Amino acid sequence: MILVYAEHDRGELDPVTLQAISAAKALDADVQAVVVGHGAKDVAAELAAFGAVSVHVGNHPELLDFTPRAHARAVNALVTANSPRAVIAGGTPRGNEVLGHLAAMRDEPFASECVSIELASGDTAEIVRARWGGNLLDEATVTSSLLIATVQAHAFAATSADAPLSVSEFDVELADGDVLVRVEDRVGSSAGGVGLAEAKVVVSGGRGMDGPDAFVMLEEIAGVIGGAVGCSRVVTSAGWRPHAEQVGQTGTKVAPDLYLACGISGATQHIAGCKSAKTLIAINTDSQAPIMGFADYMVVDNVHTFLPLFIEKLKAASN
């Protein structure tokens, strides 16, 4: 049996979790999911639609929002009760944090950002991990009766495989300190529209936008073509855009049909987040910028000159 930690945010399932389920199905037909927190039951049907034969919902009055160590405690209880061969989660900041806690609780090794997993005979597993933003692949053998691993976003395709909906609930027993780190409050609200991780088109801006005001152009483009706005790390560090829009190794990894990079130089960490795009178009004044080497098409121009003309043509074509 393979146990998958299902990551959700107030009842909205993270798409990388579905990729983790597909990775688990390749290892064992008996894939079960554990989901914790407010809105957990709301995602059970979607988990079953992608192949989870059983969904375990962990309940506790303190589990109203993300609480990493408490979530790990819930996963640990199911590991103890069911003795799975592996526990897998999506390689997101939350997935890595929860399984990191689980590994510490059980004194087991933890393999993150896997792009390939094979369960060998006995207590070994052969894994390939993405390192250095995906620029290096690390082949390793993990010796343990329980493999604890996360899968890199977009390394496995999420494939539907309808399973009968089977939901069971259990009470999570928490230890002292399990809820010390938790989400207490949220400031601001979502602007709506297409989410960055699942967007088919991402319009992203970098230092070359020269300030927050110019991102209005990117919002306009995204609105016309039904895309999402993204940005580089330097943009969030400057406070021009929220961290939720950051694409990169420490942000969101995306795999859209089209990635439009505006004024982005192409640091390794950013490329790690967007290199899975089917088509990448880069707009930059520097033809030798690193991102140009990854682009399918490049426009050597200033974004402030090019984008107004592009928006004008885009609107004309959409009418």
SS (H, E, C) 170-193: EECCCCCCCCCCCCCCCCCCCCCC
Q: What is the pLDDT of residue 134?
A: 67
Contact yes or no for 64/37 (Cβ under 8 A): yes
pLDDT per residue, tens digit, the chain (319 aa), is 999 999 998 888 999 999 999 999 999 999 999 999 888 889 999 999 999 999 999 999 988 889 999 999 999 999 999 999 999 999 998 999 999 999 999 999 999 999 999 998 789 999 999 887 667 889 999 999 999 999 998 899 999 988 888 999 999 999 889 999 998 887 654 455 667 888 999 999 999 999 999 999 999 999 999 999 999 999 999 999 998 899 998 888 899 999 999 999 999 989 989 998 999 999 999 999 999 999 999 999 999 999 999 999 999 998 7
Rounded Cα distance between 277 and 260, Å, is 10
Domains (range + CATH), the chain? 2-171 (3.40.50.620), 201-318 (3.40.50.1220)
Residues with Cβ within 8 Å of residue 185, at least 6 apart in sequence: none
pLDDT (0 to 100) of residue 189? 45
Please state, in angstroms and rounded to a whole number, the distance separating the CA atoms of residues 35 and 14.
12
Q: What is the pTM (predicted TM-score) of this model?
A: 0.77
Distance CA 305, CA 250 (A): 30
Cα distance between residue 61 and residue 80, in whole Å: 22
- For the packed helices 15-25 and 93-106, what is the interaxial angle rounded to 10 degrees? 50
Q: Which residues pair with 148 in a beta bridge?
A: 87
